[in-house]
């Protein structure tokens, strides 16, 4: 029975937890790989404690797998599937997902893909080492990289992971369209629900060509076809286009749920309605359309037709407009609010501030002229870590600390939570700020041993600072793990609504039972009715309270 | 839809198929090819509209299909300068 | 705005939406290369156009029997519905048999996937489509075997939607791979 209840469960809450926990475990795998190559970069050719000597092949494999794991096995499952599965039905007042069995299948497909990916470390030749973008011809011909099975497994695992995320996306969209509680109109839905659906849509329509490309790449590896090999009439550039046609929208697939999470957190801890709810939704919809028009800014120096550079520079700069609207909405939501700096709020504020740095540096990369110099340097590495780290981890932690009482019926320790938040945010900056500088002096990515380049010698200390920052960042997460596990048993018992939040999930018991609500909720108002005048005892009204 | 009209659509589909086979051996290559693909679109349209019942679905179902196709058209035209005209081909 | 589409049908439509971009992505790549390589026409001339044409007829007919099966079940005739669904399954099997005959012929003639980019596309696209046929057949058999026990209009309509979609994909693959032999599509 326990097997049926906790392992092979169709309940959206269990599925969400399974995704979240798998994602968190994989985050440690990805972090460990980062430790391996950061150590090699700071102290080249010294044995890495808890690993040993790093060879060039292992370096390539660890960089590749770090990227793959962090994007597809950490960010996607935590942000989209973990939070999405658990919270989406609760937030719209539904008893479960539209297709509970498909939901379970989605997780087990994902789990299988995880096993496939992890097994690639064990096969002869090691894991894939062609970069997380897996560009051909390197990735298309095992003879070039020396990685045979690792590459096959990489493609299979990624394709399966996409399939599982597609199943999840179909479920989100159908659930939102058909299972909303009475009165829950589209513009009464919490922002997170909107964002999860927009992300699912963007994912659904961008991933198809890359799935086709993955089949073609696999055929190149297994059946000696030449889809991406110039000597057979194929074109490696085509894969780059297919990859980034998906890869850029994917950035927003991760960003949207993160924006949703911090919107929920910020309104609660600023005790204010969200400023510009509709403009934010419209801006996100516009950005999701624009996200299909910017992909080639990843390829300015790939040898693509130079006439494409100007249009893609322009669209890239245009897409910063809707996101500027979004960021201003968040800032205006904070403006004049009674801000309470609980752990989730610290993480949410951190996410907004750090993401801003990532977004602003993106404008340099987005204009072709600057990018020709910056491309493939550590500047780009720093830029996308400033976008993806806040999105995945800062917003992710904000969400975990925020909904933990709902999930487990207990609160996490606040003091240790704050220490975790402050350490994480500071050490993150120590890790990645030096990389901007190191990139601007021309340090290329994917260099195994920087000590071989004389002009990089004066900047080696920046690598050392960055690696120390990373070690502190990695070790700080132990605080989180201990807090997470210890609070399961010793945390203070949470009421149904410990944060005085107005959205529907806080009506359900903590943790919600099977079917979520004791009686089906009926919605009468928007999701963020905080600081209402003329109330005694509380300053907010739940969505189900009559107007 | 009556049984007879479903069968009529099938007859129409077969007729269109026969037509495109005839066009395959026509000398005017450019015109023949464009006609062949117009016919393919027509056939697909018939199947989607009547057999798959798009005719009776709300408009946003068509929007799902159209958004997918729109993405593909976008991808195609953005890649023409890179792939089709590569090395001056 | 409550949706008037039943949940299961909406789910299938979303699923088909995501399938369109997968097959469509492959077709976009094929078209791009096809325009770049006009010389593929001579390669395409080696496909068995008539077998492909017969297979198109088979699939179109299977679409008809599928919609008739749905029609019958909707009007309460589970027995004749099962017959029509059985015919659809039969047509799917005939399609696969003809396709394997083609593969056999092509491979013995030396037209392997690695021979040229055209054959790479030919085999990849038809194999992916064939896998979808196999998946559709499995789904059809599951629905068919349950049809006598219970009336499930939505089950037959779900597999029907998917089966028609696979048919539509073939409607495009046939001219792309078989009828482009005449040197067209320059």
Torsion of CA A113, A119, A121, A127, to 10 degrees: -50
How far is residue C108's CA from residue C135's CA, in Å, rounded to a whole number? 27
- Cβ-defined contacts of A104-107 (< 8 Å, 24+): A104/A8, A104/A9, A104/A10, A104/A15, A105/A167, A106/A15, A106/A81, A106/A164, A106/A165, A106/A167, A106/A168, A106/A171, A107/A15, A107/A18, A107/A19, A107/A81, A107/A164
Kindly list the residues from chain C whose CB atom is less than 8 angstroms away from the CB atom of residue B21: 49, 53, 179
- Say if residue A454's pLDDT is above 90: yes
Instruction: Please give the class, per CATH, of domain C7-181.
Output: mainly alpha
Nearest to B82 among A237, A245, A292 (CB): A237
- How many distinct structural domains can be found in chain B? 2
Q: Which comes out higher in pLDDT, residue A376 or C186?
A: A376
- C96 and chain B in contact, CB less than 8 A: no
Write out the two tokens for A162.
């996409």
**A100 contacts A36 by C-beta, under 8 angstroms:** no
* B49 and B78 share one domain: no
* B48 and B67 share one domain: no
Q: Which of A109-118, A448-457, C142-151 has the lowest mean pLDDT?
A: C142-151
Mean pLDDT of C165-181: 92
Angle at A470 between CA A468 and CA A476, to 5 degrees: 105
- A235 and chain B in contact, CB less than 8 A: yes
Sign of the CA dihedral A323, A325, A329, A332?
positive
Q: Are residues A235 and C33, on separate chains, in Cβ contact within 8 Å? A: yes
Q: pLDDT tens digit string along A190-224?
A: 999 999 999 999 999 999 999 999 999 999 999 99
* B64 and B48 share one domain: no
Mean pLDDT of A168-177: 97
Q: pLDDT tens digit string along A325-364?
A: 999 999 999 999 999 999 999 999 999 999 999 999 999 9
Write out the two tokens for C105.
């012929």
* B7 and B47 share one domain: yes
Domains of chain C by residue range: 7-181
> Which residue does chain C place closest to B23, by CA atoms?
C179
Kindly list the residues from chain B whose CB atom is less than 8 angstroms away from the CB atom of residue C57: 14, 17
- Say if residue B88's pLDDT is above 60: no
**A442 contacts A377 by C-beta, under 8 angstroms:** yes
pLDDT at A452: 94
Q: Are residues A232 and C18, on separate chains, in Cβ contact within 8 Å? A: no
Which chains, if any, share at least 3 CB pairs under 8 A with chain B?
A: A, C
- Say if residue C183's pLDDT is above 60: no
pLDDT at C181: 58
Q: Which of A139-143, B16-20, B47-51, C63-67 has the lowest mean pLDDT?
A: A139-143
A116 φ/ψ angles, rounded to the nearest 5 degrees:
-60, -45
- Say if residue B89's pLDDT is above 60: no
* B10 and B46 share one domain: yes
* B15 and B44 share one domain: yes
Closest approach of chain C CAs to the CA of A294, in angstroms?
A: 18
Closest approach of chain B CAs to the CA of A236, in angstroms?
A: 10
* B9 and B30 share one domain: yes
Closest approach of chain C CAs to the CA of B8, in angstroms?
A: 10
Write out the two tokens for A192.
């997170």
Q: Are residues C2 and A216, on separate chains, in Cβ contact within 8 Å? A: no
Which chains, if any, share at least 3 CB pairs under 8 A with chain C?
A: A, B
- Say if residue C99's pLDDT is above 60: yes
* B19 and B2 share one domain: yes
Closest approach of chain C CAs to the CA of A311, in angstroms?
A: 21
* B62 and B50 share one domain: no
Nearest to B24 among C17, C165, C182 (CB): C182
- Say if residue A159's pLDDT is above 90: yes
Kindly list the residues from chain C whose CB atom is less than 8 angstroms away from the CB atom of residue B3: 68, 71
> Which residue does chain B place closest to C36, by CA atoms?
B84
Q: Which of A142-151, B61-70, C80-89 has the lowest mean pLDDT?
A: A142-151
Torsion of CA A217, A220, A223, A224, to 10 degrees: 180
Per the structure, the complete domain to which residue B16 belongs is given by 1-56
Which chains, if any, share at least 3 CB pairs under 8 A with chain A?
A: B, C
Q: Are residues A209 and B86, on separate chains, in Cβ contact within 8 Å? A: no
pLDDT at A260: 98
Kindly list the residues from chain B whose CB atom is less than 8 angstroms away from the CB atom of residue C172: 40, 44
* B71 and B31 share one domain: no
> Which residue does chain C place closest to A241, by CA atoms?
C29
CB pairs under 8 A between A and B: 35
How far is residue C116's CA from residue C40's CA, in Å, rounded to a whole number? 9
* B51 and B89 share one domain: no
Q: Are residues A219 and C113, on separate chains, in Cβ contact within 8 Å? A: yes
Q: pLDDT tens digit string along A230-275?
A: 888 899 999 999 999 999 999 999 999 999 999 999 999 999 999 9
Domain A2-507, CATH homologous superfamily name and number: Cytochrome c oxidase-like, subunit I domain (1.20.210.10)
Kindly list the residues from chain C whose CB atom is less than 8 angstroms away from the CB atom of residue B76: 28, 31-32
- B45 and chain A in contact, CB less than 8 A: no
* B87 and B49 share one domain: no
- pLDDT bracket for residue A400 (50, 70, 90): very high
Kindly list the residues from chain B whose CB atom is less than 8 angstroms away from the CB atom of residue C164: 47-48, 51-52
- Say if residue B86's pLDDT is above 80: no
């Amino acid at each position: 029975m326990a097997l049926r209840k906790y392992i092979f469960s169709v309940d959206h809450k269990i599925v969400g937890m399974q995704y979240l926990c798998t994602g968190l475990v994989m985050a440690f795998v990805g972090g460990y790989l980062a430790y391996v190559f950061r150590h090699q970069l700071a102290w080249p050719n010294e044995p890495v404690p808890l690993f040993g000597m790093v060879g060039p092949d292992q370096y390539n494999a660890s960089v590749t797998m770090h990227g793959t794991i962090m994007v597809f096995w950490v960010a996607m499952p935590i942000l989209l599937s973990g939070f999405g599965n658990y919270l989406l039905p609760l937030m719209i007042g539904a008893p479960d997902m539209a297709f509970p069995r498909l939901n379970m299948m989605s997780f087990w497909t994902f789990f299988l893909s995880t096993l496939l990916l992890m097994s690639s470390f064990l096969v002869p030749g090691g894991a894939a080492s062609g970069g997380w973008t897996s560009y051909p011809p390197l990735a298309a011909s095992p003879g070039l990289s020396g990685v045979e099975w690792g590459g096959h497994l990489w493609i299979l695992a990624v394709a399966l992971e996409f399939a599982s995320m597609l199943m999840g996306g179909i479920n989100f969209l159908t659930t939102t369209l058909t299972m909303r509680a009475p009165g829950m109109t589209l513009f009464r839905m919490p922002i997170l629900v909107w964002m999860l659906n927009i992300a699912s849509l963007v994912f659904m329509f961008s991933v198809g060509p890359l799935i086709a490309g993955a089949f073609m790449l696999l055929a190149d590896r297994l059946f000696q076809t030449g889809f991406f090999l110039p000597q057979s009439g194929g074109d490696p550039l085509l894969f780059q286009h297919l990859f980034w046609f998906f890869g850029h929208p994917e950035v927003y697939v991760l960003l949207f749920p993160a924006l949703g999470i911090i919107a929920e957190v910020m309104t609660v801890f600023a005790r204010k309605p969200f400023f510009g709810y509709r403009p934010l939704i419209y801006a996100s919809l516009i950005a999701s359309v624009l996200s299909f028009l910017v992909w080639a800014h990843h390829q300015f120096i790939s040898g693509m037709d130079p006439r494409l550079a100007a249009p893609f520079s322009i669209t890239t700069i245009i897409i910063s407009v809707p996101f500027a609207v979004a960021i201003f909405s968040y800032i205006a939501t904070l403006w004049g609010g009674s801000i309470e700096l609980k752990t989730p709020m610290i993480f949410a504020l951190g996410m907004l501030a750090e993401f801003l740095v990532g977004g602003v540096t993106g404008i340099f990369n987005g204009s072709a002229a600057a990018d020709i110099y910056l491309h493939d340097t550590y500047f780009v590495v720093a830029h996308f870590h400033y976008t993806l780290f806040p999105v995945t981890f800062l917003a992710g932690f904000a969400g975990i600390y925020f909904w933990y009482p709902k999930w487990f019926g207990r609160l996490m320790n606040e003091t240790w939570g704050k220490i975790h938040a402050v350490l994480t945010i500071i050490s993150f900056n120590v890790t990645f700020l030096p990389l901007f500088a190191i990139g601007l002096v021309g340090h290329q990515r994917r260099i195994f041993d920087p000590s071989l380049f004389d002009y990089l010698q004066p900047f080696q200390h920046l690598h050392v600072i960055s690696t120390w920052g990373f070690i502190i960042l990695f070790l700080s997460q132990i605080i989180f793990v201990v807090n997470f596990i210890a609070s399961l048993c010793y945390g203070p018992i949470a009421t149904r609504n410990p944060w005085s939040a107005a959205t529907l999930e806080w009506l359900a018991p903590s943790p919600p039972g099977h079917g979520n609500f004791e009686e089906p909720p009926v919605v009468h108002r928007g999701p963020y009715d905080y600081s209402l005048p003329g109330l005694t005892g509380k300053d907010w009204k739940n969505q189900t309270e009559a107007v | 839809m009556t049984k007879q009209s479903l069968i009529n659509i099938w007859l129409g589909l077969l007729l269109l198929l026969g037509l495109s086979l005839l066009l395959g051996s026509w000398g005017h290559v450019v015109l023949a090819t464009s006609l062949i693909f117009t016919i393919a679109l027509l056939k697909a349209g018939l199947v989607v509209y009547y057999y798959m019942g798009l005719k009776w679905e709300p408009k946003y179902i068509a929007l799902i299909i159209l958004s997918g196709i729109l993405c593909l058209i976008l991808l195609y035209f953005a890649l023409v300068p890179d792939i089709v005209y590569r090395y001056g081909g | 705005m409550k949706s008037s589409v039943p949940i299961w049908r909406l789910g299938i439509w979303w699923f088909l939406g995501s399938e369109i971009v997968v097959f469509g992505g492959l077709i976009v790549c094929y078209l791009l290369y096809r325009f770049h390589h006009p010389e593929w026409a001579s390669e395409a001339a080696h496909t068995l156009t008539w077998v492909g044409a017969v297979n198109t007829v088979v699939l179109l007919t299977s679409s008809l029997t599928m919609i008739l099966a749905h029609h019958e079940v909707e009007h309460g005739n589970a027995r004749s519905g099962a017959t029509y669904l059985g015919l659809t399954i039969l047509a799917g099997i005939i399609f696969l048999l003809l396709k394997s005959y083609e593969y056999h012929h092509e491979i013995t003639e030396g037209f392997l996937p690695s021979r040229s980019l055209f054959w790479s596309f030919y085999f990849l696209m038809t194999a992916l489509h064939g896998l979808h046929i196999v998946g559709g057949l499995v789904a059809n058999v599951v629905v068919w075997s349950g049809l006598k026990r219970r009336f499930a209009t939505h089950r037959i309509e779900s597999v029907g939607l998917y089966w028609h979609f696979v048919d539509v994909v073939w409607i495009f693959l046939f001219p792309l791979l078989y009828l482009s032999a005449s040197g067209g599509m320059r």
